[in-house]
Amino acid sequence: MTSPRPQPWYRVPEVWLILLLLSATVTASLMLVRTALASPDRYVEVQSSGVSKIPPIVKVEHDHLDDGAAD
């Protein structure tokens, strides 16, 4: 009993399905990039009231890393 001869890759239907899906993915990705570059976002200017809700950053200075324990 001999094993059947393997088919060439181009005669296997699943290979064509994989190639179709891969090429569709690449095409859709390139179209998405093209669309994104063709329509940039509008510049939105926010009017500032002068008062920030975010507190200012306070820099804490340490003279040394001693924890205060006496030697």
Indicate the pLDDT class of residue 3, thresholds 50, 70 and 90.
Answer: confident
The pLDDT of residue 13 is 94
Is 33 a domain residue? Answer: yes
Residues of the domain holding 14: 9-38
Domains identified in the chain, total number: 1
Per cent of the chain over pLDDT 90 is 44
The pLDDT of residue 14 is 96
Is 29 a domain residue? Answer: yes
Read off the tokens for 58: 């306070």
The pLDDT of residue 21 is 98
The number of C-alpha atoms within 13 Å of 42 and in the hemisphere containing its C-beta is 3
pTM of the model: 0.51
Is 23 a domain residue? Answer: yes
- Please check the confidence at residue 15 and state whether its pLDDT lies above 90: yes
Is 60 a domain residue? Answer: no
